């Protein structure tokens, strides 16, 4: 049976007092708890960001090997059904968990499936939880890459040319009219993440196409993947040309916190997830970002991505994430705690605005697992290209170059996605998992290398 007085109790939060000196006194204040969905990089960052705040954070997990299940900054964790595969059961489980807390918990989603789940089950969950988006917001328009591109275009925000196709077969029929190079991507990101589609698309968020022959080959592979596909102009450049505006817009529509950053490395390159992201002062993307959010009537957490076109000297809008993202904890290095600002606003407090302080050079967020695989993978490909060489200095140059690249990345202030001295267990478990996976990959690669050499002989 649900806690019937839940809504009344949640609205009766005792508010903190502000002294004459302007200092906020939280003593005697009761704060609703936080539920964080899916305990990976993003969720761990939320718990660590709130470790010194007067609020209890609970984790929701469906996969027992999630690294966040061992994070010491969660007050507790609850096993729940996966919202991607069993949304109805997840809803029932959340209603069941609600009775163990006297105040309406705040829910923070950490992936697109979570956002859609909370939107679809709003009517059943809203009486018992504090949800991240208001009832009148059409959240699907922000997750629809075609719709959001048109909204940006209609508001004079530079956007890559975009065409939509019902399926890969339509692209094949229209192959003579497309402009290359281009990027193929799903209309909704989750299209390629469900029902085995991720494997069929080669575990890629987007597909870069340079030739008509490649386009035909990719269309053949995408034919078995359901959902509409976008063919979008490719904005030339490298990973470091991608920048992001990270912010929280309050329920009154005011910008309460933000910082800007630059991606230094992605995994995989060009269209992957940022594995090394650096704080950067990019003021020119702030006005178009706020303009886009206002056009959508959006309030809440958001990460808006742009890519700089050097030839046209212009930033082009790429996409928006209406939720927490992996690198949000990076803001803490410039005193911008997005999670704490969002929480205060969601429970009816009046958070102070947090805008970035003076940037320190080389302030980075690093996904250590992805970085390790990227560096080792690049080195391996270089070694394979030189395998006919008998000059040991060439191999030494590859190793020393990789080491120098790693040293450069590790310079300055850093936040790691998992490794943390104050929270060691997730990092220790990740290291063991990383070593197992690397050993397996090295063994397989060595066997392939030897078999190729034997065939050559």
The band of 16, judged by pLDDT with boundaries at 50, 70 and 90, is: low
Asked if residue 330 belongs to a domain, the reply is yes
- Domain encompassing residue 219: 161-233
One domain, residues 260 and 348: yes
Note the pTM of the prediction, 2 decimals: 0.88
Q: Which residues of 66-88 are buried (b: 16+ CB within 10 A; e: fewer)?
A: bbbbbbebbeebeebbebbeebe
Residue 29 CA to residue 14 CA, distance in Å, equals 5
φ/ψ of residue 185, rounded to 5:
-150, 160
Asked if residue 137 belongs to a domain, the reply is no
Query: pLDDT at position 187, please?
Result: 93
Q: In this predicted structure, which of 14-28, 98-112, 196-210, 238-252 has the lowest mean pLDDT?
A: 14-28
Q: Is the pLDDT confidence value at 7 over 80? A: no
Residue 55 CA to residue 32 CA, distance in Å, equals 7
CATH classification of the domain holding 263: 3.30.470.20
Q: Which residues of 300-329 are buried (b: 16+ CB within 10 A; e: fewer)?
A: bbbbbbbbbbeeeeebbbbbbbbbbbbbbb
Q: Which residues of 109-128 are buried (b: 16+ CB within 10 A; e: fewer)?
A: bbbbbbbbbbbebeeebeeb
Asked if residue 135 belongs to a domain, the reply is no
Angle of the 112-120 helix axis to the 87-98 helix axis, nearest 10: 70
Residue 170 CA to residue 34 CA, distance in Å, equals 45
Asked if residue 12 belongs to a domain, the reply is yes
**Of the candidates 154, 157, 145, 150, which has an alpha carbon nearest to the alpha carbon of residue 287?**
157
The residues that bridge with 363 in the sheet, in sequence order, are none
Query: pLDDT at position 446, please?
Result: 63
One domain, residues 258 and 268: yes
Q: Is the pLDDT confidence value at 203 over 70? A: yes
| 379 or 56, greater pLDDT | 56
Q: Which two tokens stand for residue 50?
A: 């709130």
The domain boundary, picked from 366, 381, 409, lies at 366
Q: Percent of the chain having pLDDT more than 90?
A: 63
One domain, residues 101 and 35: yes
Query: pLDDT at position 356, please?
Result: 92
The band of 394, judged by pLDDT with boundaries at 50, 70 and 90, is: confident
H-state helical runs in 55-189: 87-98, 112-120, 122-125, 140-143, 145-154, 168-173
Query: pLDDT at position 17, please?
Result: 53
CATH classification of the domain holding 81: 3.40.50.20
Average confidence (pLDDT) over 356-383: 86
Q: In this predicted structure, which of 176-180, 272-276, 303-307, 445-449 has the lowest mean pLDDT?
A: 445-449
Q: Is the pLDDT confidence value at 258 over 60? A: yes
Query: pLDDT at position 5, please?
Result: 36
Q: Is the pLDDT confidence value at 276 over 90? A: yes
One domain, residues 245 and 340: yes
Contacts of 121 (CB under 8 A, 6+ apart): 87, 91
| 93 or 178, greater pLDDT | 93
One domain, residues 241 and 352: yes
Query: pLDDT at position 421, please?
Result: 94
One domain, residues 251 and 293: yes
Asked if residue 144 belongs to a domain, the reply is no
One domain, residues 438 and 384: yes
One domain, residues 372 and 432: yes
Query: pLDDT at position 381, please?
Result: 80
Q: Which two tokens stand for residue 384?
A: 């394979």
Q: Is the pLDDT confidence value at 175 over 60? A: yes
Q: Which two tokens stand for residue 265?
A: 């490395």
Q: Are 236 and 208 within 8 A, CB to CB?
A: no
One domain, residues 94 and 62: yes
The domain boundary, picked from 341, 366, 391, lies at 366
Asked if residue 136 belongs to a domain, the reply is no
Average confidence (pLDDT) over 277-303: 96
**Of the candidates 453, 362, 343, which has an alpha carbon nearest to the alpha carbon of residue 407?**
362
Q: What share of the chain is helix, strand, coil (3-state, %, to 5)?
A: 40, 20, 40
∠ at Cα 115 (110, 118), nearest 5°? 120
Residue 26 CA to residue 3 CA, distance in Å, equals 26
Average confidence (pLDDT) over 362-388: 85
Asked if residue 153 belongs to a domain, the reply is no
One domain, residues 14 and 96: yes
Query: pLDDT at position 29, please?
Result: 60
Average confidence (pLDDT) over 359-368: 88
The band of 76, judged by pLDDT with boundaries at 50, 70 and 90, is: very high
Q: Is the pLDDT confidence value at 198 over 90? A: no
List Cα–Cα distances, 444 to 10, 343, 380, 449, in angstroms.
55, 47, 12, 9
The band of 6, judged by pLDDT with boundaries at 50, 70 and 90, is: very low
Query: pLDDT at position 376, please?
Result: 84
One domain, residues 241 and 316: yes
Q: Is the pLDDT confidence value at 144 over 60? A: yes
Residue 408 CA to residue 402 CA, distance in Å, equals 10
The domain boundary, picked from 197, 216, 233, lies at 233
Residue 274 DSSP code: E
One domain, residues 119 and 174: no
Query: pLDDT at position 377, please?
Result: 83
Rg of the chain on CA atoms, in Å: 24
Q: Are 68 and 40 within 8 A, CB to CB?
A: yes
Q: Hey, is 258 helix, strand or coil?
A: strand
Question: How many domains are there within the chain?
Answer: 4
Q: Which two tokens stand for residue 202?
A: 């080669």
Asked if residue 150 belongs to a domain, the reply is no
């Amino acid at each position: 049976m649900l806690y019937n007085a839940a809504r009344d109790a949640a609205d009766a939060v005792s508010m903190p007092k502000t002294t004459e000196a302007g200092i906020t006194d939280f003593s005697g204040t009761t704060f609703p708890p936080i539920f964080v969905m899916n305990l990976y990089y993003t969720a761990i960052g939320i718990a660590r960001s709130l470790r010194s705040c007067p609020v209890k954070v609970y984790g929701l997990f469906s996969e027992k090997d999630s690294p966040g299940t061992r994070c010491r900054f969660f007050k507790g964790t609850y096993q729940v059904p996966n919202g991607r595969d069993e949304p109805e059961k997840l809803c029932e489980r959340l209603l069941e968990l609600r009775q163990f807390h006297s105040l309406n918990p705040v829910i923070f989603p950490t992936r697109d499936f979570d956002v859609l789940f909370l939107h679809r089950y709003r009517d059943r969950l809203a009486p018992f939880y504090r949800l991240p988006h208001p009832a009148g917001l059409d959240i699907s328009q922000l997750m629809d890459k075609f719709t959001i591109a048109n909204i940006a275009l209609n508001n004079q925000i530079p956007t890559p040319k975009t065409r939509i196709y019902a399926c890969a077969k339509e692209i094949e029929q229209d192959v003579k009219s497309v402009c290359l190079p281009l990027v193929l991507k799903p209309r909704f990101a989750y299209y390629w993440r469900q029902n085995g589609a991720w494997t069929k698309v080669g575990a890629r968020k987007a597909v870069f196409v340079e030739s008509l022959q490649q386009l035909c080959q990719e269309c053949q592979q995408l034919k078995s993947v359901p959902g509409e596909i976008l063919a979008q102009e490719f904005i030339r450049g490298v990973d470091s040309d991608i920048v992001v505006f990270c912010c929280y817009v309050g329920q009154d529509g005011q910008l309460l916190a933000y910082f800007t950053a630059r991606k230094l490395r992605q995994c995989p390159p060009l269209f992957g997830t940022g594995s090394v992201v650096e704080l950067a002062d990019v003021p020119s993307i702030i006005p178009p970002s706020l303009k886009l959010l206002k056009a959508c009537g959006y309030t809440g957490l958001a990460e808006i991505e742009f890519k700089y076109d050097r030839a046209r000297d212009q930033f082009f809008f790429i996409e928006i994430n209406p939720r927490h993202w992996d690198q949000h904890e990076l803001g803490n290095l410039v005193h911008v705690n997005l999670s704490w600002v969002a929480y205060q606003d969601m429970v009816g407090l009046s958070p102070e605005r947090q805008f970035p302080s003076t940037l320190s050079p080389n302030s980075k967020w690093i996904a250590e697992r992805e970085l390790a695989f990227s560096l080792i993978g690049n080195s391996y490909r270089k070694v394979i290209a030189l395998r006919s060489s008998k000059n040991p200095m060439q191999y030494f140059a590859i190793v020393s170059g990789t080491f120098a690249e790693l040293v450069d990345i590790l310079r300055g202030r850093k936040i790691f996605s998992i490794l943390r001295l104050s929270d060691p267990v997730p990092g220790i478990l990740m290291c063991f998992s990383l070593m197992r996976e690397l050993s397996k990959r090295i063994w397989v690669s060595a066997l392939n290398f030897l078999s190729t050499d034997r065939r050559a002989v």
